[in-house]
Structure 1
Amino acid sequence: MLESVTFKNRTWDVAANLHLPEDFDENKEYAAIVCVHPGSSCKEQTAGIYAEKLAELGYVAIAFDASFQGESGGEPRYIEDPATRVEDVRCAVDYLTTLDYVENYRIGVLGVCAGGGYAANAAMTERRIKAVGTVVPANLGRTYREGDGSPDAAIKTLKAVSQQRTVEANGAEPNITNWIPNSPEEREEAGITDIDIVEAVKYYCTPRGQHPNSPNKLRFTSMDAVLAFDAFHLAEQLLTQPLQIVIGNVPGGFGSYRDGFDLYNRAASNNKDLLVVEGASHYDLYDQPEYVNQAVEQLESFFGENL
């Protein structure tokens, strides 16, 4: 069962899909899980896939579009603002607590890719989250700070953002760029061969995972906030909830393989586990049944024990 709902973040509406168990009974009480999508993604893509599978396991699962993106409100459009992304998670928890059929002490979070970083970060200060699941978690700030691999990559980007803010303040049109190449052909022309970019294009820009709520648009001036964000900052002190991390053993440029180990090593939780799915790349764990099912099997056990 699927319901379209909204909840508030500050003054705007956040659009969400509420996935309910097949035998849902509003007179019963259920554990609930907030599903957080990757950067550039939307609630109908991989976060929705996992939300649907969690609902099949008997959970109430909510997947939402990030503020400023997809069907959610907020201006200006196409911003990737880590602080607001984390607040989206808190607001989703707020919403779940208003539902009579959700047990407030049994709320968890599951994030995919950058959503995994945001999920972990939100859980550090959002103590209503009782269990944290991540699939191919990526520390988005680290990814962009490393940029093209040059020592001053982050500073070059920050200087470009500063220059763009100046021209926009003086009347220029906003710089709306792309997260990734818009097509396999565009990627090939650019000579990009990293497996994560290759598969990102296949997922987001072909019928495999393409969705109109994920238009591959990014407001360039929001990159300053991304570059200053460390999703795992203070995990050694504040990330104490049970933690399940799932990664594939095929590494790529987005770095979820090493970020998975980094999060595992840094988290203060005494109850934490890292599953490495053999043969799986980052994007295999978005939607490929052979690998997603392994992740879900592990998450079933994890959330079953901890929610």
Structure 2
Amino acid sequence: MKSVTFKNKTWDVAADLHLPGGFDEAKKYPAIVVAHPISSCKEQTAAIYAAKLAELSYVCLAFDASTQGASGGPGRYLEDPATRVEDFRCAADYLVTLPYIDENRIGVLGICGGGGYAVNAAMTERRFKAVGTIVGANYGRLCREGDLTPDAAIKALEAISAQRTAEARGAETAITTYIPQSRAQLESYGIEDVDVVEAVDYYTTPRGQRPGSPNKLNVVSTGAAFAWDAYHLADKLLTQPLQIIVGGGRTGAFGSYRDGFELFNKARSEKKSILVVPGATHYDLYDKPDCVDQAVAKLEAFYGETL
């Protein structure tokens, strides 16, 4: 593995290039762009999948989203769909400059929110020849659902607009968190949803905690996502082979099981498949060895046929 950067507009996007064993620059390799979940970074579950796919002779590029992790950008901790999707196009730009990459054999894999972004990018980025998602989630839907109370999204947007006005007049940038910051805080809130509980266990403990994933979110940046749908036009523009992987265990607020089947039913792709990993929760597919191994076995067959 080696650390690299590529450009998105004027800033550097930080990435790790995972190379196959016995790597030879004189050869041509297929490549896979690997995108981390929302609130995550390239050293967490994205690194696990990138490393395992590199063992299967793919060059894998796992990157930090712009403004997050070690990447630069216009601000910090933005969750802006347009910028996130552009990162994928810029990743493809970078890969096609490498002499050892077969430009006709580039795929993409996204995990959780990175899966939704990967799908959205692939609709217009035709250099991606195959699309894979692991518990892919539609971030726009998550924003719109809010806390499921009537007009929750509208109230959230009004608050975001008010904060934007305040910042335009000189107020400090509002930074919040994606999830509770500890198990104790989670318990104090009385939250029992499996996705949130397991997110806290993954992101705030040694299990998955990494410096590039500080659980910080720019409040104003989320406004654009409320009117964004990761799978909009998938029935018209998503024609690449598609492999969806979801967990068949308890489902929670992040909705990746539901989103997986929505995408499967909607995608125009003639070659598409969905794997339900029995008993697996959303976060089991981040790093639980037996669940990850089932996912990788399916991806090995999928990318082997399509790249």
TM range (shorter): over 0.9
Name the SS for the 2:143 alignment partner. helix
User: What displacement does 1:201 show?
Assistant: 0.4
Following superposition of structure 1 onto structure 2, how do residues 225-244 of structure 1 map, counting pairs within 5 Å? 225-244=224-243
User: What displacement does 1:22 show?
Assistant: 1.1
- Counterpart in 1 of 2:10? 11
- Of residues 236-245 and 165-174 in structure 1, the stretch that sits farther from structure 2 once superposed is 165-174
Letter in 2 for 1:305: E
Name the SS for the 1:39 alignment partner. coil
- Counterpart in 1 of 2:290? 290
Residues in 2 aligned to 1:215 and 1:206: alpha-carbon distance in whole angstroms: 12
Q: Taking structure 1 as the reference length, what is the TM-score of the superposition?
A: 0.99
Q: Taking structure 2 as the reference length, what is the TM-score of the superposition?
A: 0.99
User: What displacement does 1:259 show?
Assistant: 0.2
User: What displacement does 1:75 show?
Assistant: 2.1
Segments of structure 2 that go 5 or more residues without pairing to the other structure are: none
User: What displacement does 1:151 show?
Assistant: 2.3
Residues in 2 aligned to 1:45 and 1:173: alpha-carbon distance in whole angstroms: 30
The percentage of counterpart residues that share the same residue type is 67
Q: Deviations over 1:63-102 (max 9, x none)?
A: 0000011100012111111111110001000100000000
- Counterpart in 1 of 2:146? 147
Q: Deviations over 1:87-139 (max 9, x none)?
A: 00010001000000000000000000000000000000000000000000100
Residues in 1 aligned to 2:227 and 2:219: alpha-carbon distance in whole angstroms: 14
- Counterpart in 1 of 2:63? 64
Runs in 1 of length 4+ with deviation above 4 angstroms? Answer: none
- Counterpart in 2 of 1:274? 274
Residues in 1 aligned to 2:170 and 2:99: alpha-carbon distance in whole angstroms: 49
Residues in 1 aligned to 2:77 and 2:53: alpha-carbon distance in whole angstroms: 28
User: What displacement does 1:273 show?
Assistant: 0.1
Residues in 2 aligned to 1:237 and 1:210: alpha-carbon distance in whole angstroms: 39
Name the SS for the 2:229 alignment partner. coil
Q: Deviations over 1:143-191 (max 9, x none)?
A: 1110100121110110000000111111211110000000111101011
- Counterpart in 1 of 2:120? 121
Name the SS for the 2:295 alignment partner. helix
Residues in 2 aligned to 1:235 and 1:190: alpha-carbon distance in whole angstroms: 37
Following superposition of structure 1 onto structure 2, how do residues 68-217 of structure 1 map, counting pairs within 5 Å? 68-217=67-216
Calculate the aligned-residue CA RMSD, in Å: 0.6
Residues in 2 aligned to 1:252 and 1:238: alpha-carbon distance in whole angstroms: 29
Q: Deviations over 1:174-216 (max 9, x none)?
A: 1100000001111010111100000000000100000000000
User: What displacement does 1:226 show?
Assistant: 1.6
